[in-house]
Structure 1
Amino acid sequence: MTNQLDVLQALRQTRHDWLNVMQLIKGNLALKRYDRIEEIIHQVTQQSICESKISEIQAPSVVYFLLTYNWFSNNIKLELDVAGEVFSLENKEVQLLRLCEEITEKLTNDCTIDTENNLLITFLFTEEYCEVTFDFQGALQKKVDWQRFKLERESIVNLVEWNEQECVLVARFARS
């Protein structure tokens, strides 16, 4: 029964998301803002392509987390980007899921709720590795101890940038 309820919830949320897109198109059509309509269609197309690519990493718990994150979180809007030739991250699934959950949780706990907060997670696939970049833009209340976080993660995470409006972390997973 739970599986059926999960499917129904996914269909309900997807329908809601598509209705929002249609409302944006309809509103811009009424305003004769055709350039904005093209931009909306381009954004939705790119998002769909990224969601399709991320679904190929063969790490279902990670894919589920990433694709449903915005359904359950109101503090941070998560966006995805995928570049390169996707390969399996099946053997890194647990580690990658934990990393995604912990970073999003730390950022959610540290961000202000009166500001628009965005997290772009980029998967860059190369011949040797998959580099995952967490690029947060918004407002942070305090500095998270990312050095300790990094040590706890066996140094796979590097802090690239941090200030009150931005936090960029990069993790690298070798191709197996």
Structure 2
Amino acid sequence: MKNQLDVIQALRQSRHDWLNIMQLIKGNLALKRYDRIEEIIEQVTQQSICESKISEIQASSVAYFLLTYNWFSNKMKLEIDVAGEVFSLEKEEVRLLRLCEEITEKLTNDCTIENENNLLITFLFTDYDCEVTFDFQGTLTKKEDWHSFLKQWESTVKLVELNERECVLTASFPRN
């Protein structure tokens, strides 16, 4: 029964998201802002393509987490970008899910609610690996404990940038 309730919840949330997009288009249509309507359609198209690609990584728990994250969190908006020829990350699923969960949880706990907070997770697929970049833009209240957080990930995760407004981390997963 729980699976049916999950599907109903997913359909409800998806319908809500599409209605929001339609309201944006209707509002801009009423204002005769046709260029903005084109931007909205392009953004939705790109988002749909990325969501489709993330569903192809054969790591269903990761795809589920990323695709439903915004339904359950209102402190930070998550976006996904996927570049390159997608390959299976099935063998890395547990580690990748844990990484995504722990980084999003840490960022959510460390960011303020006074400002807009965004996390862009980019999957760059190459011939040899998949580089995953976590690019947070917003306001962080704690910066000092990131180094201890990263120690648990040994050399898997690298801190690229860290300041009050930005945190960028990268991780690499080999092609199997």
TM range (shorter): over 0.9
Give distance in 2, aligned partners of 1:76 and 1:32. 31
**1:154 deviation in Å?**
2.7
Amino acid at match of 2:82: V
Give distance in 1, aligned partners of 2:45 and 2:114. 30
**1:144 deviation in Å?**
4.7
Give distance in 2, aligned partners of 1:3 and 1:174. 33
Q: In 2, are the aligned partners of 1:134 and 1:168 still within 8 Å (CA)?
A: yes
**1:142 deviation in Å?**
1.4
* Partner residue in 1 for 2:57: 57
Kindly, what percent of the aligned residue pairs are identical?
Answer: 80
Summarize the alignment of residues 158-173 of structure 1 with structure 2, pairs less than 5 Å apart: 158-173=158-173
* Partner residue in 2 for 1:31: 31
**1:147 deviation in Å?**
2.1
* Partner residue in 2 for 1:21: 21
Unaligned runs of 5+ in 1: none
Aligned in 2, Cα 1:72/1:144: closer, same or farther, shift over 3 Å? farther
Amino acid at match of 2:32: K
Aligned in 2, Cα 1:144/1:82: closer, same or farther, shift over 3 Å? farther
* Partner residue in 1 for 2:118: 118
Matched position secondary structure for 1:112: coil
Matched position secondary structure for 1:43: helix
* Partner residue in 2 for 1:136: 136
Aligned in 2, Cα 1:6/1:57: closer, same or farther, shift over 3 Å? same
The CA RMSD over aligned residues, in Å, is 0.7
Q: In 2, are the aligned partners of 1:106 and 1:144 still within 8 Å (CA)?
A: no
Give distance in 2, aligned partners of 1:6 and 1:120. 25
Unaligned runs of 5+ in 2: none
Give distance in 2, aligned partners of 1:13 and 1:69. 11
Q: Deviations over 1:126-149 (max 9, x none)?
A: 000000000000000111522222
**1:153 deviation in Å?**
1.1
Give distance in 2, aligned partners of 1:81 and 1:59. 16
Matched position secondary structure for 1:91: helix
Amino acid at match of 1:155: S
* Partner residue in 2 for 1:98: 98
The aligned length equals 176
Give distance in 1, aligned partners of 2:144 and 2:59. 28
Amino acid at match of 1:68: T
Give distance in 2, aligned partners of 1:128 and 1:150. 24
Q: Which moved more, 1:146-155 or 1:10-19?
A: 146-155
